[in-house]
Amino acid sequence: MAGSVGGPAYLALDIQEPLMNQQEESAEENILQLIAMPQNCDAFANLAEAGIDQLLQDGFLRDVPVLGSMIGVIRAAGGIRNLLLTKKLGQFLRSIQSIPLEDRQRYCETLRDRSERQRQGEALLLLLDRLDDMEKPELVGKAFRAFVLGEIDSRQFRSLSSAIDRLPIQHLPDLISFYADTRNPRQIDNDVAQALSYAGLVRPAISTGVIIGDISTSSMYYDASALGELFVRIVSSDV
């Protein structure tokens, strides 16, 4: 049964009971509860946008299941960092709103083991906390949505998450342009290519040139990688 929780006038939280059957769950597990329950997911996203730093001081959410636990771990981060983590989590949750309830429930059914819930929740929180740009949580959300919908497997999701973490966000348009380039070899600035290569999104290759006697000339260029092609298809769509 859902229940409304009071608070500031601009917030109306319709809280859902957990889909997973548990007692005291950690914040790492509760992030998966937020994902599983669309209304709680939306409630937390709204809190992040409203300015949760003030709400943390008010403390009226401490008794709200799931939300209270998540806010507790964010408070523990301290200072500006807790506000940034909250906003990142809110943007991530907002970006997965389109995942149908039945797909969320099917995903949760695979996480009946508590240690696995803790592991996945911890990995997601660590990733979001580490992101160096506020555009990146939405990119993680796109990859996570594809994972939940069965479009990619867990290994591919982890690879995409790592690439998002390493990608300098200012080079995202360069990445899209690189994969739209039909020339052979594709044209790209060397410094940009090195940054994308570090993220695994392009791969260096050697081109053999003219052979004169026993001497051959060669040059470095960059080609598409399987991860880069997957990234452009899943993560950078609609960017």
Structural domain boundaries in the chain: 3-130, 170-234
Whether the predicted pLDDT of 82 surpasses 60: yes
- Of the listed ranges 41-50, 66-75, 135-144, the one predicted with least confidence: 66-75
d(CA 205, CA 227): 16
* pLDDT tens per residue across span 115-168: 888 888 889 989 999 999 999 999 999 999 999 999 999 999 999 999 999 999
In 3D space, the residue among 116, 106, 108, 96 whose CA is nearest the CA of residue 38 turns out to be 96
The CA-based angle 128-16-114, given to 5 degrees, is 55
